[in-house]
Amino acid sequence: MTEFDLIRRYFARATPNALLGIGDDAALLRPSEGHVLAVSSDMLVSGTHFFPDADPFLLGHKTLAVNLSDMAAMGATPRWATLAIALPDADEPWLEQFSAGFFALAQQQGVELVGGDTTRGPLNLCVTIIGEVPAQHALRRNGAQPDDEIWVSGSLGDAALALAHLHKRILLSESTFTSCAQALHQPQPRVALGLALRGIASSAIDISDGLLADLGHILDASLAGAEIGMASLPVSPAMQAYATTPAGTQCILSGGDDYELCFTAPAVRHAEIIGIGTRLSLRLTCIGKIVAGSDCIVHDAAGNRLHLGNGGYEHFR
């Protein structure tokens, strides 16, 4: 199978919302009137971001999902994507499942694949996603203000707990692992939430490297500090038994791979945010507030300060 046969068979799809999609030297795209483009790239490398024997359907889903999470954090509507993929060989059953997982999520979110590249090499997946958002409604990291509430969507720590099990750092029951593994392998990007937060959230970020690290990016950009309560952090029933253990605390605060949204908003918008959660059938939890200063202070259930590093995943640390 040639490179072009591979592209035609597994990745060429109709692109009615692009002026020109796959098949030329570049795609031609036109944003909606009054909108600006939001562009983000993420790379997933075998052995670093996923196991070499990862289920290809779930890997196809996650490859796009991590990029959609960036669009959610910007309040952007995802529109188009490109995929650059290095493959050890043209494994057709693997390609069929990978592309099926990728396009199942793409269709659900209205995303068109408009280009990319294929080459032979160690398995490496890189998506560039392009969305659009009215310029005045884009969610950014630098808008948090003192007394704003801090919120997170969904639950924290499940993906990191599943990964700890796979790395044999902790032993989970089969049912607990199965529940947590879904968060690791098939994250659900909060695109609808990002759109609903336009004009309400003062800042936002997706939690890919861990709550403390990613909230820290908001604090750095906003020149602010934060106070959060450990007891307020939302966890799943599967995580509940581990939440107060050192391993569980690490997963919740610094584990990464959650792909939930952390956002801030004025306290007067509290009821609106609760309403958004109800409308989207999505758990939204207020975990603390923005304060003057630059530190993120975490309190335990008794109100005592926990002494923690910022943690979070970094590739070159």
Q: How confident is the model at residue 90 (pLDDT cuts 50, 70, 90)?
A: confident
Q: Does domain 3-137 have CATH number 3.30.43.10?
A: no
How many other C-beta atoms can be found within 10 angstroms of the C-beta atom of residue 270?
13
Give the span between the Cα atoms of 11 and 96, in whole angstroms: 9
Report the pLDDT averaged over residues 139-149.
97
Are 3-137 and 149-306 the same fold in CATH? no
Report the CATH superfamily, name and number, of domain 149-306.
Answer: PurM-like C-terminal domain (3.90.650.10)
What token pair was written down for 20? 């020109």
pLDDT by residue (tens digit) across 246-267? 899 999 999 989 999 999 999 9
Q: What percentage of the chain has pLDDT greater than the value 90?
A: 79
Q: Name the average pLDDT for the chain.
A: 93
- Report CA-CA distances (Å) from 187 to 61, 145, 158, 208, 234: 8, 30, 10, 11, 16
Q: Is 141 helix (H, G, I), strand (E, B) or coil?
A: coil
Q: How confident is the model at residue 313 (pLDDT cuts 50, 70, 90)?
A: very low
For the chain, give the number of residues: 317
pLDDT exceeds cutoff 50 at 316:
no
Nearest to 158 by CA among 239, 271, 223, 260: 239
pTM for this model (two decimals): 0.92
Report the pLDDT averaged over residues 204-223.
96
Write the DSSP symbol of residue 268: G
pLDDT exceeds cutoff 60 at 13:
yes
Burial of 157 (0-12, 13-18, 19+ CB in 10 A): buried
Give the span between the Cα atoms of 268 and 174, in whole angstroms: 43
What are the structural domain ranges in the chain?
Answer: 3-137, 149-306
Report the pLDDT averaged over residues 204-226.
97
Tell me which range, 26-30, 96-100, 313-317, is most confidently predicted by mean pLDDT: 96-100
Per-residue burial over 45-83, b if 16 or more Cβ lie within 10 Å, else e, is ebeebbeeebbbbbbbbbbbbbbbbbbbbbbbbbbbbbb
Q: What is the pLDDT of residue 60?
A: 97
